[in-house]
Amino acid sequence: MGKFQDLGIGTGMTTSGSTDQWLGRARQAVWSGANGVRTSWPLVLLSALLVALAVPAALLVAPGFLGPEPPAPAPPAPAWQQVPTALSPVPGLAPPDGSAPVPLASTVSAQLEPLLKADGGGTFTALVQDALTGQVLFDRGGSEARVPASNMKLLAAVAALRALGPEHRFATQAVAGPAPGQVVLVGGGDVLLGPGGSAPEQVMGHAGLATLAAQAVEALQEGGAAGEIKVLVDDSLFSGPALNPAWASGDVAAGEVAPVYPLALNSARYDPAVTTGPRPQDAAMTAAEEFAARLRTEGAAAGLTVAAAVERRPQAGTTAPAGPEGEGTSQPVVLGEVQSATVAEQVNLMLQDSDNYLAEALGRLTALADGLPGSSDGATAAVGAQLAAAGLAAEGMKLVDVCGLAMGNLVPARQFSEVVRAITSGTDTRLRAALDGFPVAGLSGTLDTRYGDAATARGAGLVRAKTGTLNTVLALSGYVVDADGRLLVFSFIGNGLTPGAAGNKEALDRAATALAGCGCR
């Protein structure tokens, strides 16, 4: 009964105790209870204090056990920063919008005239056109023949795409030699060979000598070859001097170009990643020696040995090897073959990197396609003929090479403006294949480090143009879509410039930036 028994509450109280006794006991119990409350009150306060301190302490300690609170969700990125769900299946320029307004020539002139000023000596000529109509919007000496530097590669690109076709490829073959135990490496025009296995996803190294060597060893095994193999190289596809006499010896020594052969590793570079400095002076022999080394490695497991020395195949008085069944044949037995990247892919690499060696090789291959000798003179003749056939030849034009390294080239700005117009919006759709080759301002190719200052940043990503640089020459020819959505083509050429004067490149870039931002109505 607990406390109730202490108070006498229960059956026993009503039968054995009086009312006074019960009241007395009740008063005594209440008084005792009050004393108990007074005695326990400090303990209650202490408990309350401990609870008050424990709550914030628990809040501090709890994250160590529970982990940090999840961060607040970030606001969604704007639409223009979202990752695209799909890439355009056909990269390049969209069809021009014929409804966009054509800029006023007077306004374009007012924009460009104060910008195209030489820093020191020399002058700039220029031509700007509406791409769709051909209307001239700015003309400062646009018909005056000038040294164009590497803008020449635009002409070589058009000629190669017309004569060879965008999808054409060049074959490098290993064939049975004129004597038993000989393997001949035959150059077919691919100067972008790689030393290793073929890399189908690349332009440089698309065809690999290791792959070709493996094919050759397999064919030799099937043919019962044994003993030592001798490697020869056939580089007879090109003719005439391997070095254009119009090139300055200093440019050759500096590695701007090298003797041109119909096969080469890495566009006649020791390392594709190092695009300056000395080059192999016999690119065909360098490639053949690499092929022999790969053949030696591949053939070791098959019991074949390969002679250390590599020689050129004699071109006079040779006899064709016997066919597979011992019958004479005019065609050699093919032991292996690798194919280059397409002409379109090579043209774009040439324009992006301004590759002189590749340009000269493509020029000679264009000449061969036109039935001309595969020489430097054949290349310039073929490029001129292709431009004339396309209605793009300019009066007074003079070509002495096709890469633009020679100071003897003379081409007016109008010529380049018309060529860019033909590529972007002309009727010959084969030329569209060159669109990806134009360097993009501030992003790619020879324009990747330009358009980064306050005066030109607005042109970054918008200006697409081929550069040209010699000691006293600067050129820029390309296209922009202006602020109103109109496609404009242009060519700016500076001659007689002060070498190294920083303001000259800036003048070209400012002018192109002004066109890109032009709402010139």
1 pLDDT higher than 80 = no
pLDDT band at 354 (very low <50, low <70, confident <90, very high): very high
Looking at per-residue pLDDT, the higher value among 518 and 49 belongs to: 518
Contacts with 517 (C-beta within 8 Å, 6 or more apart), sequence order: 458, 459, 482, 483
Q: Which residue has the higher pLDDT, 519 or 420?
A: 420
Asked if 332 and 191 touch (Cβ cutoff 8 Å), the reply is no
Helix axes 209-222 and 283-300, enclosed angle (nearest 10): 50
Provide the residue ranges of all domains of the chain, joining segments of one domain with +. Answer: 3-53, 105-165+372-516, 171-316+331-341
27 has a pLDDT exceeding 50: no
Q: Is the pLDDT of residue 29 over 90?
A: no
The pLDDT confidence band at residue 52, using thresholds 50, 70 and 90, is low
Measure the CA–CA gap between 220 and 298, rounded to whole angstroms. Answer: 11
Q: Mean pLDDT across the stretch 195-200?
A: 98
Catalytic residues: 150, 153, 354
Could you tell me if 174 and 183 are in contact, meaning their C-beta atoms sit under 8 angstroms apart? Answer: yes
Quote the CA–CA distance of 211 and 189 in Å, as a whole number: 18
Mean model confidence pLDDT for the chain: 86
Banded pLDDT at 97 (limits 50, 70, 90): confident
Reported as a single tens digit per residue, the pLDDT across 457-492 is 999 999 999 999 999 999 999 999 999 999 999 999
What is the percent of the chain where pLDDT is above 70? 79
Distance CA 291, CA 173 (A): 11
CA atoms within 13 A on the CB side of 462: 25
pTM: 0.81
Residues 377-398 have a mean pLDDT of: 94
Structure tokens at 72: 């607040």
Q: Which long-range contacts (CB under 8 A, 24 or more apart) does 387-393 make?
A: 387/155, 387/158, 387/159, 387/419, 389/162, 390/158, 390/162, 390/422, 390/428, 392/158, 392/418, 392/419, 392/422
- Indicate the class that CATH gives domain 105-165+372-516: alpha beta
